[in-house]
Amino acid sequence: MTRKILLATAAAMALLAGPALAQKVVRIGMTAADIPRTLGQPDQGFEGNRFTGLTMYDGLTLWDLSSADKPSVVIPGLATEWSVAADDKTKWTFKLRAGVKFHDGSAFDADAVVWNVQKVLDQAAAHFDASQVGVTASRMPTLRGARKIDALTVELTTSQPDSFLPINLTNLFIASPAQWNKLLAAVPAAVGDPKERAKQAWEAFARDASGTGPWKMARFVPRERLEVVKNPDYWNKDRVPKVDRMVMLPMPEANARTAALLSGQVDWIEAPAPDAVPQLKARGMTVHANAQPHVWPWQFSRVEGSPWNDVRVRKAANLCVNRGEMKQLLNGLMVEAKGTVPPGHPWWGNPSFDIKYDPEQARKLMAEAGFSRQKPLTVKTQTSASGSGQMQPLPMNEFMQQNLAECFFKVELDVIEWNTLFTNWRKGAKDESARGSHAINVTYAAMDPFFAMIRFLDSKMAPPVSNNWGFINEPDYDRMVQEARTTFDAAARDAALARLHARSVNDAAFLWVAHDVGPRAMSPRIKGHVQPKSWFVDFSPMTID
């Protein structure tokens, strides 16, 4: 065989294999019933941020998603550094990253940041969009406005001194003003009302989005699929995607997702049905899971007459749950909780009370509190049969019921509908809706200090203001919250939060049970996936054979 023929054959083969080689495509089945909104501020909770926020857009600050072992912390994004004014703690200066371009080619600068703050906070702005306010404003409750200092510097203002602002800002995704203005100009002149024009421009933007993120929008079929392609010019060269195209498909049914993965319709599914995990593994699929900043607790009522007002009883309950066995029953899909955040997290704070399974010690504490096998303590807990983030509430609560019975607790479960439970959570333990419950079982995300701790521990956050359901009123907590909120050096702020966390664990403020692990199953063809300790994922490092 001559060299020539060999070359020709190789060329022919390359030609044949060409189309297959040219594009590396990964197809993902999401749990959402619809594609999360694509115009910058996604709906559908954190799954929305995961798929249509962090892919196509960046925030001024970002989450570090590069490691499966370290806790995920806030890192610079479109802003490179930030600081609060020495004289006025409600004014922040953010230095912006130079040389960043939106997908439409326009430059990212201070004007773009001001424009993106206005889109949700300035009702007078032409591009104000009410539909994006809800999901944005509630995640950055103190942000009030933005002002350009120079091309690469902006000043942000808050309503009160708030050191959590940089963490909140991970939820503000920067969309391209130039692209929006171009689409506004394309709205037919027949539409006169400026509000209607703006609305149509946003609708067009959702179909033809432009951000600064590692992925660019390529094809969008509402309610069916979103295709994004890699952005080879992404500003962070380490995070340029390794696959060419990513397809996202909404598949709200756990079984449909599993069937789709098994039949090769998709390469990656979010949250497979736990029951299907053994079968998925048997058919060669890989299942990834890692602790998420999520808490599955019993939140205690601390109103007058609640049995949980006795710290010995609270500690006993925490020591009486066999979390290891619970984990087995969930096919391994949980992490045993030792507090709101796990050991090693910047807010961990080394509490002295070690939450583990120690029924002997628990019974001793209960005996001290005056209870025994003959004279058990009756407690009532409100929970739901299902719900987002609730994992498997009925089996888990039932398991706890059996555990706690060994430590002289007689647990009554009040099972109500998920939406009602969620509403009751805001009404508080004193409300009629609590039906005399001593604890409520609602799960929550614990990424942001406000949502992880402040709203439960600060006495000012009692209903109807926020979710201090049990009316915890502990001057120590209030002081520590205030301290954390007004400490502006990031490390010192985390230290203050760690003190608050340690104090709450030592006081057994909750019955901490589990953290969710965000399971996802993938075809063995996918390599290099990193499952961080986060609700989010970086899709850039993965490859597909």
275 versus 476: smaller Cβ distance to other proteins: 275
* One character per residue 42-61, x = contact with other proteins (rule: CB under 8 A): -x------------------
By CB under 8 A, which span of 96-104, 260-268, 371-379, 510-518 interacts with other proteins?
A: 260-268
458 versus 507: smaller Cβ distance to other proteins: 458
Q: Quick one: which of 251, 377, 446, 521 contacts other proteins (CB under 8 A)?
A: 251
Say whether residue 218 binds other proteins (CB under 8 A): no
Alpha carbons 382 and 511: distance in angstroms, whole number: 14
**Burial class for 115, CB neighbours closer than 10 Å (0-12, 13-18, 19+):** buried
By CB under 8 A, which span of 93-101, 181-189, 250-258, 493-501 interacts with other proteins?
A: 250-258
* One character per residue 334-373, x = contact with other proteins (rule: CB under 8 A): ----------------------------------------
89 versus 199: smaller Cβ distance to other proteins: 199
Q: How far is the CB of 396 from other proteins (least distance, A)?
A: 8
Say whether residue 202 binds other proteins (CB under 8 A): yes
Q: How far is the CB of 182 from other proteins (least distance, A)?
A: 18
Of 35, 536, 519, nearest to 251 by C-alpha is 35
Helix (H/G/I), strand (E/B), else coil: 3: helix
Q: For residues 56 and 540, is the Cβ–Cβ distance under 8 A?
A: no
Tokens of 140: 């950055």
Alpha carbons 376 and 353: distance in angstroms, whole number: 24
By CB under 8 A, which span of 256-264, 353-361, 478-486, 530-538 interacts with other proteins?
A: 256-264
Alpha carbons 397 and 403: distance in angstroms, whole number: 10
Q: How far is the CB of 322 from other proteins (least distance, A)?
A: 12
Going 444 to 448 to 450 to 454, the CA torsion angle's sign is positive
Alpha carbons 408 and 216: distance in angstroms, whole number: 58
Q: Quick one: which of 88, 368, 406, 417 contacts other proteins (CB under 8 A)?
A: 417
Say whether residue 245 binds other proteins (CB under 8 A): no
Say whether residue 164 binds other proteins (CB under 8 A): no
By CB under 8 A, which span of 60-68, 101-109, 148-156, 218-226 interacts with other proteins?
A: 218-226
Say whether residue 249 binds other proteins (CB under 8 A): yes
243 versus 277: smaller Cβ distance to other proteins: 277
* One character per residue 432-471, x = contact with other proteins (rule: CB under 8 A): -------------------x---x--------x-xx----
Say whether residue 265 binds other proteins (CB under 8 A): yes
By CB under 8 A, which span of 161-169, 246-254, 429-437, 476-484 interacts with other proteins?
A: 246-254
Q: Which neighbouring-strand residues pair with 543?
A: 527
Under DSSP, the state recorded for 101 is B
Q: How far is the CB of 100 from other proteins (least distance, A)?
A: 27
Q: How far is the CB of 256 from other proteins (least distance, A)?
A: 4
Say whether residue 80 binds other proteins (CB under 8 A): no
- How far is CA 208 from its chain centroid? 26
Q: How far is the CB of 368 from other proteins (least distance, A)?
A: 31
Alpha carbons 508 and 500: distance in angstroms, whole number: 12
Q: How far is the CB of 137 from other proteins (least distance, A)?
A: 6
Tokens of 222: 């509402």
Under DSSP, the state recorded for 314 is H
Q: How far is the CB of 225 from other proteins (least distance, A)?
A: 5
Strands ordered across the beta sheet of 79-84: 79-84, 91-96, 153-158, 143-150
Of 278, 260, 276, nearest to 268 by C-alpha is 260
Q: How far is the CB of 104 from other proteins (least distance, A)?
A: 20
Q: How far is the CB of 283 from other proteins (least distance, A)?
A: 11
Count residues contacting other proteins (CB under 8 A)? Answer: 59
Q: Which neighbouring-strand residues pair with 383?
A: 415
Q: Quick one: which of 254, 334, 365, 514 contacts other proteins (CB under 8 A)?
A: 254
In the range 139-158, which residues lie near other proteins by CB under 8 A? 139, 141
Q: Quick one: which of 107, 415, 490, 495 contacts other proteins (CB under 8 A)?
A: 415
Going 378 to 380 to 386 to 391, the CA torsion angle's sign is negative
DSSP code per residue over 326-387: HHHHTTT--EE-SSSS-TTSTT----SS--S--HHHHHHHHHHTT--SSSPEEEEEEEES--
The β-bridge relationship of strands 294-300 and 444-445 is: antiparallel
Q: For residues 164 and 156, is the Cβ–Cβ distance under 8 A?
A: no
Say whether residue 33 binds other proteins (CB under 8 A): yes
Q: How many CB atoms lie within 10 A of CB 455?
A: 20
Alpha carbons 222 and 445: distance in angstroms, whole number: 28
Say whether residue 25 binds other proteins (CB under 8 A): no
**Burial class for 18, CB neighbours closer than 10 Å (0-12, 13-18, 19+):** exposed
Q: How far is the CB of 93 from other proteins (least distance, A)?
A: 27
Of 101, 98, 110, 188, nearest to 149 by C-alpha is 110
By CB under 8 A, which span of 151-159, 230-238, 275-283, 348-356 interacts with other proteins?
A: 275-283
Helix axes 311-320, 393-405, angle to 10 degrees: 110
| Cα–Cα distance list, 112 to 357, 539, 541 (Å) | 53, 25, 28
Say whether residue 423 binds other proteins (CB under 8 A): yes
Tokens of 500: 């608050």
Say whether residue 495 binds other proteins (CB under 8 A): no
Alpha carbons 335 and 324: distance in angstroms, whole number: 9
Q: List residues binding other proteins (CB under 8 A).
A: 33-34, 37, 39, 43, 123, 129-131, 133-135, 137-139, 141, 199, 202-203, 206, 221-225, 249, 251-256, 258-260, 262-263, 265, 273, 275-276, 279, 329, 385-386, 394-395, 398-399, 415, 417, 422-423, 426, 451, 455, 464, 466-467
